[in-house]
Structure 1
Amino acid sequence: MSSRPSLSHAPFVAVAGLSARMLAQSAARAGLRVVALDVFGDRDTREAAELWFDIGAGPLSIDATRLVAALERAARLPGMIGWIGGSGLEPFVTQLCRTRDLPRLIGNPEHVNAAVRDPQRFFALLDALDIPHPAVAFARPADGSIETQHWLIKHADGCGGTHIEPVSMPGAAHLPAQAYFQRLSSGRPHSALFVAARGSARVLGFAEQLTCRMGTLPYVHAGSMGPLGAAELSPVVEARVRAAIAAICARTGLIGINSCDFLLDGEVFELLEINTRPSSTMTLYETASPEAWPNGLLAWHIEACRHGRLPPSEAQATFAVPAASEVSVAPVAPVMPKAHPLAAWRAGQQVLFAPRPFLVSQSFSDACLRDPCCRDVPMPGTWIEAGQPICTLLVRAASLPAVRHALEAQRALVLQRIETRHEPDYAFIQCHS
């Protein structure tokens, strides 16, 4: 049973994605009633939400029909202020924006999303703004100059690194819609999280992205660490990235929480893409400085999208939740306490992938749910194949080296749980006979 206080008069918000846990927890922290739509139905997702809908078409994919049907049901809830999309909804944005009888989208409208997610428009914009990026191509050159080891093929409607593949030779001269070639660069992946409204942006911080190889996919998202300080990100680079984000927001009209992915090689940065949705790195800032965001960052996503308000640069900010009767009548008024120095904590999150197939036992699930460093805790009886995500590890420490050490220790602990917390053999037989 959830330990959250009664919210019987608070408005509803729907959150959707491959995993809705992060959004659901942040929305609940803001005092909202949550409807979660995802493919996992993890225990902590259900704990943060009053309702959960399964929108899966398989272990790691979304069914468009189930997604639309669930949003239609959510729209009928009293006091529903809208829905917020997370990772995995990229292929469905156009359909959802054009479907009637859904809750209001709290996020970037279709034309704004297209301005930065359509690769031909986006890289043309970067060139016009003189923002550096790796070389791109939209058709295989006839002279065969694209060599496998130097180029990648990317799908702009993908996410989590599963949309990035090595170029196979030979191949078709033209690419499918939303795909493009991009030249490999030597930089390391980073991201900046920002809130946008009315053509302006407030950068919340910078993070280092963690990736891993999964089969033939070389850059699968595996987590992040941050916020980065001056020791990890020079003021010169920070200023350049901030300027690039400001220019893009001024030209496109992005709203709400978005993230900017870029490569960093020394003081040379190259912009990769803009994710037009709340990024998983939100968790880093809520974890590293909970006193700065006592009501969660999603509250400021809603403020920016509905009322064009940006969070203060260096102040705590709390979020006044409207009563259900006020949802469509009055703007939400944020409360801004006095600014104070934030503790220099860092946070890290890492997706733990299964080293072998296993059945999630009640004991394993309970142990992870009690563990403050585990998120996305699977339900007992879940069958997890090798290479699929088990859970997300989340730690806080005083430095990035300490974060790395804590993640390794937590990883070892959870893997040990897999080996020691088994159900009796008959549980396996019942589930898989």
Structure 2
Amino acid sequence: MMAHVSARAPRVAVAGLSARLLAQSAARAGLNVVALDIFGDRDTREHAGLWFDIGKPDGNGLSIDRARLYDALEHAARLPRMLGLIVTSGLEPLANELSRAPGVPRFIGNGAQALAVRDPRRFFALLDEAGIPHPEVSFAAPAAPAGPEGWLVKRPDGCGGTHVEWAGDVDRTVPRAYFQRLAQGRPMSALFVAAHREAVVIGFAEQLTVAAGRLPFVHAGSLGPAQLPADTAARVIAAIEAIVWKTDLTGLNSIDFLLDGDDFSVLEINARPSSTMALYETVWPDAWPRGLVGAHLDACLHGELPQVAQGCAAMTHPSPLFAGQRVVFAPTGFTVSREFSDACFADPACHDVPSPGARIEAGMPVCTMTFTAPAFAALRDAMEREHARLLQRIDTLSRS
């Protein structure tokens, strides 16, 4: 349920393709929330005093409408006690622009700093200079005799794996795209908070992906906190510290990497709060009583970092509990019934709950399910069991 927030508390605007997670964390921090996203899910509105639809008016695709976004932000900027704007997935390409735009709330996060990690030429040159491992990268189409076999093509302005395709399946003249050789390893991430060129790692998580049509690695959830070998964790933390020193990233960010035994290779930086923050707020509620949005605000507005051991919050706050989240995708297109929406809204495992009447096409996200367990194996079992239960609910309580 929504935490009680004083009507006189400061406001914060949170925006992205889905703003639910940020809205929930900000409400936990005791803030009045203005949410801007394309879904308007029931639990987003539960945690936000105001919600603005920033999706395309025709509902075509999972994309943000620029005019609607700026109209909503200009409205939000006129509200009293507005601290500023925090963005998440989907608004990365506009971060620098939003940080400089007049008439919108103050940008709280990475504006120009994000350019150094969003531009692949600059980012991979930075990694090479710092001696940080990464899969082989090319800015030209892979040449014969192997050609595109075993290569991915990535767009730096995408998110959630929707920007990654097999190199042989796309037009090789995609603007600003780059090629990356497929590498071995388990997909992982580390959430960190940065300020004044220093960083603290919140924790490590295993990333879940699914294949969806031509997209081989669509984000489908995460498990954490994951335990890495001490030496490997220290080297990942050192890599993050080197990147932050060179880029001056601020606030919550995450790094995606592959873990192959004791070795790792960096894939990319997400220069904004990521969905894995929900894992750490779940397993360490006492460590983050103001939510991780509180840590983001402390870092961005006051230059303050959490006090932790060895540069990693997981080492300061060990937990016997593990958390997982899994995105449920629609097996077929359907319209959300009142019964389905109410059943999901009453289910403590369900988040991002769609409203009655919403149309969800095949392959689109339906909701996010969250779980806790004392071990990773039990967590995986619970996720499979609950995923099957949700699919059955779709089958029985919604209409095609």
TM-score (norm 2): 0.94
Query: For residue 32 of structure 1, what is the aligned residue in structure 2?
Result: 31
Please say which of residues 53-62 and 77-86 is displaced more in the overlay. Answer: 53-62
Local SS of the residue matching 1:378: coil
Match of 2:332 among 347, 352, 356: 356
Structure 1's 341 and 267: CA in aligned 2 closer, same or farther, altered over 3 A?
closer
Offset from partner CA, 1:260-287 (integer Å, 9 cap, x none): 0001111111001110000100000011
When structure 1 is superposed on structure 2, of 301-310 and 287-296 the one drifting more is 287-296
The corresponding residue for 2:225 is 227
Judged with a 3 Å threshold, the aligned counterparts in structure 2 of structure 1 residues 265 and 70 are, in CA distance, closer, same or farther, namely: same
Q: SS where residue 56 of structure 1 aligns?
A: coil
1:218 positional shift:
0.2
Deviations along 1:186-244, one digit per CA (max 9) or x if unpaired, are 11210000000011100011000000000010000000000012xxx211211110000
Amino acid at match of 2:196: R
Aligned to 1:320: none
Q: How many residues align?
A: 392
CA-CA distance at 1:144 after TM superposition: 2.9
- Which segments of 5 or more consecutive residues in structure 1 lack a partner in the other structure? 315-338, 429-433
Residue 46 of structure 1 corresponds to: 45
Distance 2:372 2:169 in 1: 44
Identity across the alignment (%): 58
Change (3 A) 1:128 1:342: closer
1:3 CA drift (Å): 4.7
Residues 287 and 153 of structure 1: is their aligned pair in 2 closer, same or farther, counting only changes over 3 Å?
same
Structure 1's 199 and 393: CA in aligned 2 closer, same or farther, altered over 3 A?
same
Supply the RMSD in Å over aligned alpha carbons: 1.7
In 1, Cα distance between equivalents of 2:274 and 2:65: 21
- Name the SS for the 2:180 alignment partner: strand
Q: Secondary structure of the residue that 1:149 maps to in structure 2?
A: coil
Distance 1:367 1:169, change over 3 A: closer
Q: For 1:298 and 1:155, how far apart are their aligned partners in 2?
A: 28
Distance 1:414 1:115 in 2: 41
1:91-130 pair list within 5 angstroms: 91-110=93-112, 112-130=113-131
The aligned amino acid for 2:51 is: W
Report the Cα distance in structure 2 between the residues aligned to 1:309 and 1:94, rounded to whole angstroms. Answer: 23
* SS of alignment partner, residue 390 of structure 2: helix
Per-residue deviation, 1:140:
2.2
Structure 1, residues 61-106: CA drift from partner, whole Å, max 9, x if none? Answer: 1111111111111000001000000001122223323321111000
8 Å contact kept, 1:64–1:92? no
Structure 2 unaligned regions, length at least 5: 310-314
Range 205-214 or range 410-419, more displaced: 410-419
**Any conservation in 2 of the 1:140–1:146 contact (CA below 8 Å)?**
no
Which range is displaced more, 253-262 or 285-294? Answer: 285-294
Q: Quick one: structure 1 residues 169 and 389, their matched pair in 2 at CA, closer, same or farther if it must change by over 3 Å?
A: closer
Q: Which AA in structure 2 matches 1:292?
A: A
CA distance in 1, matches of 2:398, 2:349: 21
1:98-146, CA deviations, whole angstroms, 9 ceiling, x for partnerless residues?
3211110000122x111111110000000000000011111225x4356
Between the aligned partners of 1:97 and 1:9, the Cα distance in structure 2 is 26
Distance, in Å, in 2 between the alignment partners of 1:412 and 1:125 is 44
Q: Does 1:140 align with 2:138?
A: no
SS in structure 2 at match of 1:371: coil
Partner of 1:384: 360
The aligned runs of 1:257-336 (5 Å cut-off) are: 257-313=252-308
SS in 1 for 2:149: helix
Under a length normalisation based on structure 1, what TM-score does the superposition of the two structures give? 0.87
* Contact 2:27-2:47 at 8 Å conserved across structures: yes
Tell me, yes or no, if the aligned pair for 2:29 and 2:293 is still in contact at 8 Å: yes
Q: Is the 8 A contact 1:256 1:277 kept in 2?
A: yes
Q: Counterpart in 1 of 2:312?
A: none
Per the alignment, residue 206 of structure 1 pairs with: 204
Cα distance per residue 1:18-64 (max 9 Å; x no partner):
00000000000000000000000000000000000000013411111
Question: Matched residues in 2 for 1:295 and 1:119: separation?
Answer: 34
Q: 1:422 to 1:260 in 2, by over 3 A?
A: closer
Name the amino acid aligned to 2:240.
I
SS in 2 for 1:245: helix
Q: Which residue of structure 2 aligns with residue 336 of structure 1? A: none
How far is 1:340 from its partner? 8.3
Q: Residue in 2 aligned with 1:326?
A: none
Partner of residue 15, structure 1: 14
Q: What is the CA–CA distance in structure 2 between the aligned matches of 1:413 and 1:98, rounded to whole Å?
A: 46
Q: State yes or no: 1:404 paired with 2:399.
A: no
2:386 alignment partner AA: Q
Displacement of 1:341 in angstroms is 5.6
- State the Cα distance separating 1:394 from its structure 2 match: 0.3
SS in 2 for 1:62: coil
* Structure 1 pair 420–117 and aligned structure 2 pair: CA distance change class (3 A): same
> Distance in 1 between the 2:119 and 2:340 partners?
43
Contact 1:352–1:389 (CA<8 Å) still a contact in 2? yes
* Aligned counterpart in structure 2 of residue 83 of structure 1, from 82, 85, 99: 85
CA contact (8 A) 2:2 2:47 kept: no
Partner of 2:380, secondary structure, is helix
Residue number in structure 1 paired with 2:63 = 61
Q: SS where residue 66 of structure 1 aligns? A: helix
Contact 2:133-2:266 within 8 A present in 1 as well:
yes
Aligned to 1:100, the other structure's residue is in SS state coil
Over residues 139-177 of structure 1, what are the superposed CA-to-partner deviations in whole Å (9 max), with x where a residue is unaligned?
225x435633211110011100000011127954x5512
Cα pair 2:14 2:35 within 8 Å, conserved? yes
8 Å CA contact retained: 1:375, 1:392: yes
Give the 3-state SS of the residue equivalent to 1:416 in structure 2.
Answer: helix
- 1:6 CA drift (Å): 4.4
